[in-house]
Amino acid sequence: MGDSMVNSSSAPERFHELSVLRDLYEGLLPPRQREVMGMKLDEDLSLSEMAERLGVSRQACEDALKRGEKALINVEGKLGLRSRRLHERKCLGEAVSALSSMGDGNWRQARDLAMKWLETAWNGGGI
């Protein structure tokens, strides 16, 4: 996730990804980083608006945002909850697809395929 959120706040995908990571890991952030990340991600405040509200410099807000973003990315790299969620969603979607295609002539194959995807999601591994 290369550039800082501060420098690329117009990138919706990055903004969304950081919001998801913050939802997963915000309890691991120090209070100031949590507060500044919330102001940026929930309220889309500028550095000036954050600084004024908190009574600190714009630089302090930018530093807290960068540290918070880096911390979220590092924790995801170590714990991988976001990646696991995406993998599980894919597996569950494939299982639903297999079950939706089930008919009189292929129910065993559809059932077996759905079970394979569900077991993969349960075990967290690849298929």
User: Could you tell me where the DSSP H helices lie in the chain?
Assistant: 12-25, 31-43, 47-54, 58-79, 81-100, 107-123
What burial class does residue 29 get, using C-beta atoms within 10 Å of its C-beta: 0-12 exposed, 13-18 middle, 19+ buried?
buried
Averaged pLDDT score across all residues of the chain: 87
Segments making up each domain of the chain, as ranges: 12-79, 83-123
Q: Please report, rounded to a whole number, the percentage of residues in the chain having pLDDT higher than 90.
A: 50
Under a CB-based contact definition with an 8 Å cutoff, are residues 21 and 74 in contact?
no
**Confidence (pLDDT) at 125:** 61
pLDDT greater than 50 at residue 7: no
**Confidence (pLDDT) at 12:** 85
**pLDDT band at 6; cut points 50, 70, 90:** very low
Q: What fold does the segment set 12-79 form as a domain? A: Arc Repressor Mutant, subunit A (1.10.10)
Across the range 53-75, mean pLDDT stands at: 96
